[in-house]
Structure 1
Amino acid sequence: MNLTIEIEKEADGRFIAEVINFPGVLAYGETREEAVTKVQVLALRVLADKLEHGEVTPEL
């Protein structure tokens, strides 16, 4: 599965990363890398939850 991540720099200097495929999955970080890492972890948690509840099926 490919995740499309959009990254923006906020006025306060923090970065916000959002996974376009999962509405509401976003994370802040002090650096681009930190924001991307945090949002990837969150996206995987959301995906795992959806798999657990049968909302999506795994691609093999």
Structure 2
Amino acid sequence: MSYKISVVIEKDEHGYYAYCPNLEGCQSQGDSFEDVTANIQEAIELYLETLSHEEREALLSKEISTMTFEVQVA
């Protein structure tokens, strides 16, 4: 079964950090964007394997959206 899961990826001076708001504690990092996306996908798959079907459904029933806004500051 496949699921759509929201992931937040942040970049700082040390590389990239990713986490899943729906899956508490599911996070990863990488030196590049490609590394972090591969790493978080693996982390999600492993995390979901530890859950029962009911737990997966409960955690993944929330829809999370992210947006980027451009704002001007005086």
TM-score range (shorter-chain normalised) is: 0.7 to 0.9
- Give the aligned partner of residue 9 of structure 1: 11
1:11 to partner: Cα distance: 2.5
- Which secondary structure does the structure 2 equivalent of 1:24 belong to? coil
Pairwise CA RMSD of aligned residues? 1.8
- Superposed, 1:47-58 pairs within 5 Å as 47-51=48-52, 55-56=55-56
TM-score, normalised by the number of residues in structure 2: 0.63
Show structure 2 runs of 5+ residues with no match. 58-74
User: Given residue 16 of structure 1, which amino acid in structure 2 is its aligned partner?
Assistant: Y
- The percentage of counterpart residues that share the same residue type is 20
Show structure 1 runs of 5+ residues with no match. none
- Which secondary structure does the structure 2 equivalent of 1:23 belong to? coil
1:6 to partner: Cα distance: 0.6
